[in-house]
Chains A and B, each alone.
Chain A
Amino acid sequence: MFKILRDLLRYNREFAIGFVLTLGIFLFALAHFWAPMPDSAIYLLPPDMPPSAQYWFGTTSRGQDVLWQMSSAIWNTMLFGITVTILSRLLAVAVGMISGYLGGKWDEALMTLNDTMIALPNIPILLLVYFVMRDSMSWPVLAATAALLGWNYDARLIRSVTLSLRTREFTRHAVFAGMSVPQILIRQHLPYVMPVIFFTAMNNLIWAIGLEVTLSVLGFSDINRPTIGGMIYWANQHQAIIAGIWWWIAFPIVAIVLLFLGLFLLAISVNEYIDPRSRLSRMGV
C-alpha cells in the first residue's frame, strides 16, 4: 500500500498535486476538533475584522472566526458528500450488476425504475422533500435523499460493463465450474468494474458537494450547522459583498475550488493506476 502510494507520488504528477491538495484540505478540516470556540457560537469576537495576524481569514458579521468556521464547514460538507457517495455507490453497483448479469425480467424492472429516476429533476425533488420534512430535516436525511437521486446514470454505466462481462469466456468458465451468481458477481466481475466504480465515486462526490453547496446557499438545509454553502448563505444574508466583507465569501469559495481540483486530479490519476493492464505504461515505469 505504502509502496503504491510512494510510486504514485513519484511518477504521477496529477496524483501528487491532487493528493497534496486533498490531504491539506482534509487536515485543515480535521483541525476543527481542536477549535478554540464552538462553531455554533456567535458574537464571541469583534465582527467584520479583515484578515490579520490575529484573525487569519478575518471575522464574520456574526462575530465568528472565518478560519474555524471554514474548518467545520469543510468537514461537514465532506461528510455529507462521502455519505451520499457511499450510499449511492452501493445502489448503483447492486442495480447495475444485477440488472446486467441476470438480464430478462430483472433487467427490465430495474432499468425501468432507473430510467424513471433519470427523468426526474433533482433540485425540485430535494426542495419538495425539504418542505415536507422541514421539522425533522437533518443532514443524514438530506444525504439519503440525495443518494437516492444520484445513482442512476452510474447504474446504467455499470450495467453496460457487466453486460459485456457476462458473455466473456471467464464468466462461462466460472458458471461451468459451479460458481454461484453472487460469487461470480463479487469475485469475477467486481474487480473489473472497480475502476468504473472508483471514477464515478469521485464524480459523485464532487456532484454531492456541489448539491450541498447549492441547497445551503439557498438556505434549504440546517442553517445552524456550518457548511461551505451555509457560510455563503449567511454572508448573503448579511450582504457581505455590498458591505465589503469579501473575506467571508472569498475564502470558502477558494477552499471548495481547491477541494474540487484535488478530488478531480485524484480521480483521473487513481483511475489510471487501478487498471492493472495500463498501470505500467501509464506510469512510465
Chain B
Amino acid sequence: MLDLVKTPVATDDVLKVEGLKAYYQMNYFGVRREVRAVDDVTLTIKRNEIYGIAGESSSGKSSLIKTIAGAITPPLRVVEGSVKFDFGGETLDVYGEPQRMKGARWQNLSYIMQGSMNVLNPVRKVKHAFHDFAFRHMGLSEREFRAKVEQHLKRIGLDPRVLESFPHQLSGGMRQRLTIALATVCEPDFIIADEPTTALDVLVQQDVLALIKDIQQRMGASIIFVTHDMTVHAAISDRIGIVYAGRLVEEGPTLDVFQRPQHPYTAHLIASLPRLGDKTRRSALPGKPPNLADPPSGCRFHPRCPLAIDKCKSGNPPLENRLSGRVACWRAGEVVAA
C-alpha cells in the first residue's frame, strides 16, 4: 500500500457533530418501526485532516455520513443533535439553516457517493455533468469554466477529451477519477467520500487513493473517508473512528488504533486482517451485527464480546478520552485480540 504520508499539522475544527441521532422512522399499515442507524454520535474533524470511518456492513456508516452531509430523505430523520461546519470562519448549521446549506453544497462541501461509478448519467456526455453540478457554483463564464475543468482533469491525469465521451465509453478507473474530479473541481473545504474505491482492483485503488490524498493536500481540504477496508484506512486516514451498530465505539490516530486498539471490537477487526508471512488462521467473531430496530441493551457489542461483564448488559458505556483517542467500553484497554 501507500507510504504513510506525514500528517499535516491539523489546526481548527471544520466539522462538529454533537449528540447526533438519526433514525429511520417508518409507519406502515399502523406498525411503527424505528431503526436507530445513527445513535448519539459526537465527533470533530479538523482542518486538513482525513478522518476514516470504519465498520462492517449495516453498522450505519453510510447513514452517518448522509446525515452529516444533510443529504437524508425520509424515512431517515434527525431526531436530536446538531451538525455544524465551519467554512472559512463562518459557522453553518446543516439542520438549522437549510437554505444556506444549499448554497454551500458543492462549493464548500462535496460528496463522492457510494457506487460513484454510476454517478454519471449514462445517456449524457461527461461535460454536461460538470456543467450541471459545478457551473453555477463557480461564477465563471462558459469558456473560463471549460478551461478550468480541462486544467483540473489534466492535473488528475485524465485527457480532457473524456468530456466529450459518454460514461459507457470510459473504463471503471476513469469514471472513478471523473467522479473525484467532479467532487473536487470547485475546490471544496470539505469532502465526504463514501466507499470511493470499493469497486476497484487494488492497483487502480492505489492510484485513486494517491490522487485523493494529493488533491486533499494541495487544496487543504478535510475529508471524511468511509470504507470497511481497514488496509485503505491504514493507507490514507489520519484518524479513524470505528462504528458499531450505529455508535462510535472507538476513535484515535490511525497508527495508535492499529497498534493499541482499546475496544474489543476494534481489536478483533484488526486481528482479522491478514499479515504477510503469517499463516495462522484468522478467527472471526461469533454472531452478527445486531438488528438496529431492536438493539441489545447496554453496550450494543456485549452479546458478541469475549470480555462482557454484567455491567455491559445494563449500562451503555460513554465515549471517553483515553490515551490518544476516545473509546466507549467499560473494559477499555483490557483487550487482548483473540
Select which of B120, B128, B129, B168 is within 8 A of A277 by beta carbon: B168
* Inter-subunit contact A173/B119 (CB<8 Å): yes
Residue of B nearest to A278 (CB): B168
* Inter-subunit contact A170/B121 (CB<8 Å): yes
Q: What are 17 contact pairs spanning A and B, CB under 8 A?
A: A168-B118, A169-B116, A169-B119, A170-B118, A176-B71, A176-B111, A177-B105, A177-B133, A177-B134, A177-B137, A179-B133, A187-B132, A188-B132, A191-B123, A275-B123, A276-B122, A276-B168
- List the 9 closest A-B pairs by CB distance, nearest first: A177-B133, A169-B118, A170-B121, A191-B123, A169-B119, A177-B106, A173-B119, A192-B123, A277-B168
* Residues on A with beta carbons closer than 8 Å to the beta carbon of B311: none
CB A169 to nearest CB in B, in angstroms, measures 5
Q: Which B residues, 70 to 122, have Cβ-Cβ distances below 8 Å to chain A?
A: 71, 102-103, 105-106, 111, 113-116, 118-122
Select which of B113, B134, B137, B168 is within 8 A of A169 by beta carbon: B113
A191 to B69, CA, bound (A): 28
A172 within 8 A of B: yes
Residue of A nearest to B128 (CB): A187
Q: Which A residues, 224 to 279, have Cβ-Cβ distances below 8 Å to chain B?
A: 275-277
Select which of B106, B113, B166 is within 8 A of A276 by beta carbon: B166
* Inter-subunit contact B113/A173 (CB<8 Å): yes
* Inter-subunit contact A175/B71 (CB<8 Å): yes
CB A118 to nearest CB in B, in angstroms, measures 27
* Residues on B with beta carbons closer than 8 Å to the beta carbon of A191: 121, 123-124
Select which of A176, A183, A188 is within 8 A of B106 by beta carbon: A176
A183 to B133, CA, bound (A): 11
Chain A interface residue count: which class? Answer: 20 to 34
CB A225 to nearest CB in B, in angstroms, measures 41
* Residues on A with beta carbons closer than 8 Å to the beta carbon of B166: 276-277
A259 to B21, CA, bound (A): 64
Residue of A nearest to B109 (CB): A176
A182 within 8 A of B: no
Residue of A nearest to B135 (CB): A177
Known: A176-B69, A177-B134, A179-B132. A170 touches B123 (CB 8 A): no
* Inter-subunit contact A178/B128 (CB<8 Å): no
* Inter-subunit contact A173/B115 (CB<8 Å): no
* Inter-subunit contact B122/A174 (CB<8 Å): no
A177 to B124, CA, bound (A): 17
* Inter-subunit contact B122/A173 (CB<8 Å): no
* Inter-subunit contact B123/A276 (CB<8 Å): yes
Residue of A nearest to B111 (CB): A176
Known: A172-B71, A176-B111, A277-B168. A192 touches B122 (CB 8 A): yes
* Inter-subunit contact A178/B105 (CB<8 Å): yes
A179 to B124, CA, bound (A): 16
Select which of B102, B118, B133, B168 is within 8 A of A174 by beta carbon: B133
* Residues on B with beta carbons closer than 8 Å to the beta carbon of A183: 132
**Contact code string B9-26 (vs A, CB < 8 Å = 1, else 0):** 000000000000000000
* Residues on A with beta carbons closer than 8 Å to the beta carbon of B119: 169-170, 173
* Inter-subunit contact B111/A173 (CB<8 Å): yes
A177 to B116, CA, bound (A): 14
CB B213 to nearest CB in A, in angstroms, measures 23
* Residues on A with beta carbons closer than 8 Å to the beta carbon of B118: 168-170
* Inter-subunit contact A177/B123 (CB<8 Å): no
A228 to B82, CA, bound (A): 70
* Residues on B with beta carbons closer than 8 Å to the beta carbon of A170: 118-121, 129
Residue of A nearest to B116 (CB): A169
A169 to B117, CA, bound (A): 9
Known: A173-B133, A187-B128. A178 touches B122 (CB 8 A): no
Residue of A nearest to B121 (CB): A170
**Contact code string B134-151 (vs A, CB < 8 Å = 1, else 0):** 101100000000000000
* Residues on B with beta carbons closer than 8 Å to the beta carbon of A173: 111, 113, 119, 133
* Residues on A with beta carbons closer than 8 Å to the beta carbon of B129: 170
Residue of A nearest to B182 (CB): A173
* Residues on B with beta carbons closer than 8 Å to the beta carbon of A172: 71, 113
Q: Which A residues, 156 to 205, have Cβ-Cβ distances below 8 Å to chain B?
A: 168-170, 172-179, 183, 187-188, 191-192, 194
Known: A170-B118, A276-B166, A277-B122. A176 touches B132 (CB 8 A): no
**Contact code string A207-223 (vs B, CB < 8 Å = 1, else 0):** 00000000000000000
A103 to B136, CA, bound (A): 28
A82 to B105, CA, bound (A): 44
CB A189 to nearest CB in B, in angstroms, measures 9
A169 to B182, CA, bound (A): 14
A188 to B105, CA, bound (A): 19
* Residues on A with beta carbons closer than 8 Å to the beta carbon of B105: 176-178
* Inter-subunit contact B123/A178 (CB<8 Å): no
Which among A172, A183, A194, A275 has the highest number of chain B CB atoms within 10 Å? Answer: A172
A183 to B132, CA, bound (A): 9
A183 to B102, CA, bound (A): 15
* Inter-subunit contact B71/A177 (CB<8 Å): no
A276 to B136, CA, bound (A): 27
Which among A168, A183, A276 has the highest number of chain B CB atoms within 10 Å? Answer: A276
A27 to B115, CA, bound (A): 51
A169 to B175, CA, bound (A): 13
Which among A178, A187, A275, A276 has the highest number of chain B CB atoms within 10 Å? Answer: A178
CB A137 to nearest CB in B, in angstroms, measures 42
